[in-house]
C-alpha cells in the first residue's frame, strides 16, 4: 500500500471519529460503538475506492454505497462531510428537528446517501437490487454495503445473499462489521450467526476475513474482490467503539451518547492521536 495514502487515510479516519463523537454528543443520542467500528471501512471506500463526485452526488455512473447497518449513520455522515458532500458544520445538527441528518440515513435529503436504511436486513437487498440493475442495464458501477454482525440475524440478509450469488452479482461487495457485540450482549450470547464466513461461503459467496481497522488489509480485500466472479463478503473483525478507550468492546456504548465530560475525554484521546500522526 502507498505509504502516503495510508497515512492520509489514517488521519481522515481520526477526523471522522471526531465528527462521530461531536455529532452524537450534540444530538444526545445515537450509536457511537458501531459507528466507530466501521468508520475505517467507510473511510477507505469514500477516500480510496469509490467512483464518486461530491460536487455531483447523483452522477449516474457513480459507485453505490448502502449502509445496511443504518444506525452507524454518524460514521457515514462524518465521512461524507469530510469528503465534501456537505458542510461538516451540519454534523452537530444530527437528529435535530429541521436537520437533513436524520437518525438513520435518508437518501432524499442527504447529499451522498444512496439508500435510506435503518431497519436492519433491508439495506443489503437494496444493494443487491442496485447491483442487479447495473448488470441488467449494462452499467459499470460497483455496489458496496456494510452489514452489522448482529444484523445478519435478520432472515432477509440470507434471502439477499442467496439471490446475489444465484444471479452472480460480482459487482457487489458486502462488509460484515464483525465487532461481536449487539444491544443485548455478545453475538454468541444473543443468537450466534457464527461462523459468519462459512455461512456466506455456503451461500456461494467468496469470503475474505480481515482486520477492519487495517487499511492495508481493507485495500487488499477490495482488490481481491475485484478479481472474483462472485459476490464477495469481507468479514471485517473490528472493535466496537474503536478509538475511544472507554467505549472499546463495551456493549453499553451501542446506543448511548457521551455526556460533556466523556465527550471531551473522547475528543482529547482522538486529538492526541491526530497530533502524534501529524
Partner 1 sequence: MAEVKNVATRVGFGTALVELGKKRDDFIVMDADLAAATQTGMFKKAFPERFYDCGIAEQNMVGIAAGIAATGKKVICSSFAMFAAGRAFEQIRNSVGYPHLNVIIAATHAGISVGEDGATHQCNEDIALMRTIPGMTIINPADETEAKKAVYAAMEHDGPIYMRFGRLAVPVVFDDDYKFEIGKGVELREGNDVTIIATGLMVKEALEAHDLLKAEGINARVINMATIKPLDTEIVLKAAKETGAIVTAEEHSVIGGLGSAVSEYLSEVYPTPVVKLGVNDEFGHSGPAVKLLDEFGLRAVNIAEKVKKAISLKK
Q: Which residues of this protein are in contact with partner 1, per CB under 8 A?
A: 60, 64, 66, 106-108, 114-116, 118-119, 121-122, 124-134, 136-137, 139, 155-156, 159-160, 162-163, 166-167
| CB 221 to partner 1: min, Å | 23
SS (H, E, C) 63-130: CEEEECCHHHHHHHHHHHHHHCCCCHHHHHHCCCCCCCCCCCCCCCCCCCCCCCCCCCCHHHHHHHHH
Q: Select 7 or 59, whichever has its Cβ closest to partner 1.
A: 59
> Which residue, 31 or 242, has its beta carbon nearer to partner 1?
31
Tell me how long the chain is.
278
Considering beta carbons, is residue 61 or 189 the nearer one to partner 1?
Answer: 61
d(CA 91, CA 26): 9
C-beta of 28 vs 59, nearer to partner 1: 59
Residue 164 Cβ vs partner 1, minimum distance, rounded to whole Å: 9
Residue 155 CB, shortest distance to partner 1, in Å, is 8
Q: Any residues with CB less than 8 A from the CB of 132 and at least 6 apart, and which?
A: 167, 169
Would you say the C-alpha torsion 5, 174, 223, 239 has a positive or negative sign? positive
- C-alpha 221/C-alpha 120 separation (Å) is 25
- Helix 215-226 with 3-27: angle, nearest 10 deg: 110
In a 3-state reduction of DSSP, which class is residue 14?
helix
Closer to partner 1 by Cβ: residue 55 or 136: 136
C-alpha grid cell, residue 94: 444530527
- Provide, rounded to whole angstroms, the least separation between the CB of residue 49 and partner 1: 19
Alpha-carbon distance of 75 to 15, in angstroms, equals: 11
Q: Which is nearer to partner 1, 162 or 220 (CB)?
A: 162
For residues 19 and 77, is the Cβ–Cβ distance under 8 A?
A: yes
CB of residue 10 to partner 1, shortest distance in Å: 32
In the complex, least distance from residue 139 CB atom to partner 1, rounded to whole angstroms = 8
Amino acid at each position: 500500500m502507498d505509504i502516503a495514502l495510508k497515512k492520509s487515510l489514517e488521519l481522515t479516519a481520526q477526523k471522522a471519529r471526531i465528527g462521530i463523537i461531536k455529532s452524537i454528543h450534540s444530538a444526545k443520542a445515537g450509536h457511537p460503538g458501531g459507528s466507530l467500528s466501521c468508520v475505517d471501512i467507510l473511510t477507505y471506500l469514500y477516500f480510496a475506492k469509490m467512483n464518486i463526485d461530491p460536487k455531483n452526488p447523483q452522477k449516474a455512473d457513480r459507485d453505490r454505497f448502502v449502509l445496511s447497518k443504518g444506525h452507524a449513520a454518524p460514521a457515514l455522515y462524518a465521512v461524507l462531510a469530510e469528503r465534501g458532500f456537505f458542510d461538516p458544520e451540519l454534523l452537530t445538527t444530527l437528529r435535530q428537528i429541521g436537520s437533513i441528518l436524520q437518525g438513520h440515513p435518508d437518501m432524499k435529503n442527504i447529499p451522498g446517501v444512496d439508500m435510506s436504511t435503518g431497519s436492519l436486513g433491508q439495506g443489503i437487498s437494496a444493494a443487491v437490487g442496485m447491483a442487479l440493475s447495473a448488470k441488467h442495464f449494462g452499467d459499470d458501477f460497483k455496489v458496496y454495503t456494510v452489514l452489522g454482525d448482529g444484523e445478519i440475524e435478520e432472515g432477509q440478509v440470507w434471502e439477499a445473499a442467496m439471490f446475489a450469488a444465484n444471479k452472480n452479482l460480482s459487482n457487489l461487495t458486502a462488509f460484515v462489521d464483525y465487532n461481536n457485540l449487539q444491544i443485548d450482549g455478545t453475538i454468541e450470547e444473543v443468537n450466534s450467526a457464527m461462523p459468519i464466513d462459512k455461512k456466506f461461503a455456503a451461500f456461494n459467496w467468496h469470503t475474505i476475513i480481515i482486520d477492519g481497522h487495517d487499511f492495508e488489509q481493507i485495500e487488499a480485500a477490495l482488490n481481491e474482490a475485484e478479481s472474483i466472479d462472485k459476490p464477495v463478503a469481507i468479514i471485517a473483525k473490528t472493535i466496537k467503539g474503536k478509538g475511544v478507550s472507554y467505549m472499546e468492546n463495551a456493549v453499553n456504548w451501542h446506543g448511548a451518547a457521551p455526556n460533556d465530560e466523556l465527550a471531551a475525554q473522547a475528543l482529547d484521546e482522538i486529538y492526541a492521536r491526530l497530533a502524534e500522526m501529524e
